Amino acid sequence: MHEVSPKVTLVAKTEFLDFAIPPYLVDIGMGIDEAQKYMMKECSDAERLTMFGGKLCYNAFKAGLNPNVTKVRDRPDEYLNNILISCHGSVLEHASFTFLIWNASRVLTHELVRHRAGCAMSQESLRYVMPEDLGFFIPALIKSLPDGERHDLLREIESSVKDTEARHWQARQEVNLDEMKFADKKKWTSALRRILPQGMSTSIMFTMNLRAARHIIQMRTSRHAEEEIRIVFDKVGGILRAHCPILFGDFVTTEVDGVDEWVSPYPANPYDYNKEG
């Protein structure tokens, strides 16, 4: 057993292909020079794609293309902030970011996989992977105990996990797993994983669109969320704010128990405003 803390890195993100846009803009009535200059690089690719999707819905690439539209917002900060304020979140679903999360417990991943809408996951499989030296996250709640109580509880945790490791290793030797063909190894690896604790560390690749990200970051950094997942999504929020400062710049962060809680002033959908009209 060894103690670990969850780690997060960005491994992929949406790319906006400028060359694909001018033919469409020319077809809907823009001049070719105007069309080629249209998509200015004043924000991230994810934000540009979100903005393009919103403008496409209203044919609002310039005043006059749509007779109903006499004024357009061309500054990305003005346009995208209006998207957030009006809660038209569907256009945020076009852009996605992929994160690699490791040294995270299966406690965390069991909660993470509940987020299915707008997300994709690929997790290290204990049906195929045979773990040995188990990584283990120790919650701050345990570390906050008085010295004597903390040391006693940490010893119990370490003893329990090491005992599980030993029993798992012994079972592996008893069935002579290392000498089996792969098809049989897979069956026995799956059977023996039932001995292992859900607190052991694992790895998962997690992709989400930006609409999902805004919801999950607020939900999972809440002071009421589980500590380990709060740590992970505080890091995710920081990464997304650096890459998409307009679409994540509205969040207000407040440190709670050593981890930032992320809160947006905008509700999840326009009907949450409870306004007339």
- Rounded to whole angstroms, the Cα distance separating 6 from 234 reads 11
At 168-195, the pLDDT tens digits run: 999 999 999 989 999 999 999 999 999 9
What the block records as the tokens of 204 is 């998962």
Q: How confident is the model at residue 34 (pLDDT cuts 50, 70, 90)?
A: confident
Q: What is the CATH number of the domain that holds 232?
A: 3.30.1360.170
DSSP 158-221: HHHHHHHHHHHHHHHHHTTGGGS-HHHHHHHHHHHGGGS-TTBEEEEEEEEEHHHHHHHHHHHS
Per cent of the chain over pLDDT 70 is 95
Domain that holds residue 61: 1-137+199-277
Please check whether residue 276 lies inside any domain of the structure: yes
Residue 272 in this model has a pLDDT that exceeds 60: no
Give the Cα separation of 128 and 123 in Å (integer).
11
What are the two backbone dihedrals, phi and then psi, of residue 65, each rounded to the nearest 5 degrees? -65, -40
pLDDT in tens, 58-113: 999 988 889 998 888 889 999 999 999 988 889 999 999 999 999 999 999 999 99
Q: What is the model's pLDDT at position 40?
A: 66
Residue 54 domain flag: yes
pLDDT value, residue 275: 47
DSSP class of 87: T
pLDDT of residue 270: 53
Residue 277 has pLDDT above 50, yes or no: no
Confidence of residue 120 (pLDDT cuts 50, 70, 90): very high
Number of domains within the chain: 1
Q: What is the CA radius of gyration of the chain?
A: 24
User: According to the model, what pLDDT value does residue 70 have?
Assistant: 86
pLDDT reported for residue 269: 55
Does 177 fall in a domain? no
- Cα distance between residue 252 and residue 146, in whole Å: 33
SS3 readout for 91-132: HHHHCEEEEEEEEEEHHHHHHHCCCCCCEEEEECCCCCCCCC
Rounded CA-CA distance 208/115 in Å is 9
Q: In whole numbers, what is the pLDDT of the chain averaged over residues?
A: 92
Tell me: pLDDT of 267 over 70.
no
Pick the range with the lowest mean pLDDT from 26-40, 41-55, 72-86: 26-40
pTM: 0.91
Catalytic residue ranges: 220
Among 218, 206, 199, 210, residue whose Cα is nearest residue 272? 218
Nearest to 10 by CA among 119, 95, 101: 101
Answer whether residue 120 is part of any domain. yes
CA 274 to chain centre: 29
Residue 151 lies in a domain: no
Does residue 191 form part of some domain?
no
Would 244 be classed as within a structural domain? yes
Instruction: Using CB atoms within 10 Å of the CB of residue 89, give its burial: 0 to 12 exposed, 13 to 18 middle, 19+ buried.
Output: buried
> Average pLDDT for residues 240-259, to the nearest whole number?
97
Residue 142 lies in a domain: no
pLDDT at position 266 is 87
